[in-house]
Amino acid sequence: MVSFIALIAGIIFGLGIIASGMVNPALVLAFLDVAGDWDATLLWVMGGAVTVGTIAFMLAKKRKQSYLGLPMKIPGVAKIDSRLLSGSLLFGIGWGIAGICPGPALVLMGTGNSDALVFLVAMLLGMGIYQMTQDRG
């Protein structure tokens, strides 16, 4: 049941990415191009998602367990450290080059787009390099 919910959540998440237009890297780059013909679409997508998410996390905070009896794995309060900032910095550079982040990369795989597949393979490799060199857990 846990995996079934995860499957449905993945499908819904992907449909949201497609419906919002964010599956198209050109639209993401148009948002990031503040000095060009700026397109605010991504902000509306984030706004919509965060509006629903805010209510969800407010309700979830009061719970000790999920509906399926699992622990609520909500991250606690941790410090803003150099790993967080340098990782986000590198991610932002990559995001700015391609206009693709991990979610749309996986959705794009389902569209059969071969350019996006180059990005996805490199992304998985990048995660592997992190795992081999940096992982401390």
Confirm or reject binding of residue 56 to another protein (CB under 8 A).
yes
CB count, 10 Å around CB of 30? 17
Residue 101 φ/ψ, nearest 5 degrees: -120, 175
Confirm or reject binding of residue 62 to another protein (CB under 8 A).
no
Residue 13 φ/ψ, nearest 5 degrees: -55, -45
Q: Is residue 123 within 8 Å of residue 31, measured between CB atoms?
A: no
Return the residues of window 72-101 that contact another protein according to CB under 8 A: 72-75, 77-80, 83-101
Work out how close the CB of 105 gets to another protein at its nearest, in angstroms, rounded to a whole number: 8
Confirm or reject binding of residue 136 to another protein (CB under 8 A).
no
From residue 10 to residue 49, the character string flagging contacts with another protein as x (rule: CB under 8 A) and all else as - is: xxxxxxxxxxxxxxxxx--x--xxxxx---xxx-xxxxxx
